[in-house]
């Protein structure tokens, strides 16, 4: 039986817009996702998160289900516009009360809260009036929002994540336009990313100085997929490393090494903003742990532009900046998102992070399998593909730990089937099935398996 360390953190995760619903309830202001979902054909079936699974009204039931499955930690995000309807200024006390009640309910059930301050749902007013993450003022607005959260919840919350997947915010929101706020550009992603990094660092500095007495930890979560060279040719090996640096290194290098990867500086020129020396000092070492959301792996070949096929955008940055071609092995199992199931890629990525960033403590803050679950007649979803995915990826995690990687925790994505952004409700990620006609919660086979693995600290 494979064992994990006794203090290993076992958790599951959600985000506010994907589960809460109550989009205009009790003083909440609109977010960019509330607005983006009203544009026809942006979301599958023109769906939205107005109700989602109605977690806002059913949080006690959801915490009871969470406890029944044995999880010791729960990662959730706070809706900025539920706390500050315009993103700045007035505080919505009813929003504060909701999250305070949720935190208390978790603690009463011996579940440790891990709170993400920002999971993509920017207050709409900040986008319309201030150009969102393109305006440097967003750095101070975010710090002020973080300050409110530290003041109101920091007596009970000891684990904070500033930002979830800034790469997604920058590339999908400001580069490809497929996520809110829906902008398309080959330069705006780098400006947005710059402000995201500075906002993270400034919020962390605030926490470390003004709220040090709360004795908590704070970090950032980046998404990263492994990039494997397609061949042993040096050009493909270099391309794979370049792809990783444009993807994960873009946001991790400044925090752990003090500046952007040199390859990004060389290739982007003036499109990549510069950090001042004071900003570099503020940013460096501004994360107590390496938060990682990991799902898949792709092969990388160098794009010498001699062939007929070349990406417009690659999964890790704008491909014309990287000169890479991405592909998959035809034998790999694919999820409903066409993401390949490649457990050895998880192992290799953990090793790469550990070696490049001087062996930081790593928390996998998301890992999961998307599929089109159907409810069985017996009332149970036997999601065997998802269960097999979790087993294989946890085996890879265990192997990494055995080889010296400081992996300290694992959060399964997601606790519930939910609103999956541009895919709406057509793709299911949760280890609990949601019947959207009745909003009934039904545990899946993977949920029961997690209960067993947590209880046995292995399988």
| Residue 57 burial class via C-beta count within 10 angstroms: exposed 0-12, middle 13-18, buried 19 and up | middle
To the question of whether residue 119 is assigned a binding role by annotation, the answer is yes
Residue among 259, 245, 248 at smallest CA distance from 220: 248
Token reading at 31? 């977010």
DSSP H helical ranges for 133-286: 138-153, 166-174, 188-210, 234-244, 250-256, 262-268, 277-283
351 is catalytic: no
Q: Which of 20, 143, 188, 366 is catalytic?
A: 366
Distance of CA 295 to the CA centre of its chain: 11
CA 200, CA 186: separation in Å to the nearest integer? 23
Q: Which of 20, 105, 143, 165 is catalytic?
A: 165
Distance of CA 272 to the CA centre of its chain: 23
Measured CA distances, 54 to 10, 37, 47, 101, 135 (Å):
25, 17, 15, 16, 33
CA 69, CA 449: separation in Å to the nearest integer? 9
To the question of whether residue 420 is assigned a binding role by annotation, the answer is yes
248-272 residues labelled b (16+ CB within 10 A) or e (exposed): bbbbbbbbbbeebbebbeebbeebb
173, 131 in Cβ contact below 8 A?
no
Residue among 76, 51, 77 at smallest CA distance from 66: 76
User: Cα-atom radius of gyration of the chain, to the nearest Å?
Assistant: 21
165 is catalytic: yes
CA 227, CA 297: separation in Å to the nearest integer? 6
**Pairing of β 112-118 and β 432-435:** unpaired
Handedness of CA 167, 171, 177, 182 (dihedral sign): positive
DSSP H helical ranges for 269-381: 277-283, 319-322, 343-356
365, 12 in Cβ contact below 8 A?
no
Number of CB atoms found within 10 A of residue 455's CB? 10
To the question of whether residue 18 is assigned a binding role by annotation, the answer is yes
Binding site members for substrate: 18, 119, 164, 295, 413, 420-421
Report, as residue numbers or ranges, the catalytic residues. Answer: 165, 366
Binding site members: 18, 119, 164, 295, 413, 420-421
């Amino acid at each position: 039986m494979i064992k994990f360390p006794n203090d290993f953190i076992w958790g599951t995760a959600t985000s506010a817009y994907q589960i809460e619903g109550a989009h205009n309830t009790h003083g909440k202001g609109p977010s960019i996702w509330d607005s983006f979902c009203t544009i026809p054909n942006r979301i599958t079936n023109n769906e939205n998160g107005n109700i989602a699974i109605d977690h806002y009204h059913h949080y006690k039931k959801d915490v009871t289900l969470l406890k029944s499955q044995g999880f010791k930690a729960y990662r959730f995000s706070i809706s900025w516009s539920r706390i500050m309807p315009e993103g700045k200024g007035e505080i919505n006390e009813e929003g504060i009360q909701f999250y305070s009640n949720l935190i208390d309910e978790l603690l009463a059930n011996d579940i440790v809260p891990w709170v993400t301050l920002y999971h993509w749902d920017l207050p709409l007013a900040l986008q319309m009036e201030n150009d969102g993450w393109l305006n440097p003022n967003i750095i101070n607005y975010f710090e002020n929002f973080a300050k409110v959260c530290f003041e109101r919840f920091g007596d009970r919350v000891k684990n904070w994540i500033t930002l979830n997947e800034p790469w997604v915010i920058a590339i999908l929101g400001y580069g490809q336009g497929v996520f809110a706020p829906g902008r398309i550009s080959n330069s705006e992603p780098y400006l947005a990313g710059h402000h995201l990094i500075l906002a993270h660092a400034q919020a962390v500095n605030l926490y470390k100085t003004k709220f040090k007495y709360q004795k908590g930890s704070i970090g950032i979560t980046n998404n990263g997929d492994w990039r494997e060279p397609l061949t042993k040719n040096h050009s493909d090996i270099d391309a794979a490393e370049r792809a990783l640096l444009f993807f994960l290194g873009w946001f991790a290098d400044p925090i752990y090494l003090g500046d952007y990867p040199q390859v990004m500086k060389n290739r982007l020129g003036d499109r990549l903003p510069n950090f001042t020396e004071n900003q570099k000092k503020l940013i460096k070492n501004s994360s107590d742990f390496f938060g990682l959301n990991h799902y898949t792996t792709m092969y990388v070949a160098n794009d010498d532009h001699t062939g007929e096929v070349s990406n417009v955008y690659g999964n890790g940055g704008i491909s014309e900046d990287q000169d890479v071609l991405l592909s998959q092995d035809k034998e790999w199992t694919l999820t409903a998102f066409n993401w390949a199931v490649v457990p050895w890629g998880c192992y290799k990525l953990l090793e790469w992070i550990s070696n490049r960033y001087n062996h930081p403590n790593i928390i996998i803050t998301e890992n999961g399998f998307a599929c089109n679950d159907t409810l069985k007649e017996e009332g149970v979803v036997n999601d065997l593909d998802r269960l097999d995915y979790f087993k294989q990826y946890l085996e890879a995690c265990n192997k990494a730990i055995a080889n010296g990687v400081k992996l300290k925790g694992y959060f399964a994505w997601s606790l519930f089937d939910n609103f999956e952004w541009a895919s709406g409700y057509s793709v299911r990620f949760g280890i609990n099935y949601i019947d959207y006609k009745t909003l009934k919660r039904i545990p899946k086979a993977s949920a029961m398996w997690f209960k067993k693995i947590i209880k046995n600290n292995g399988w």
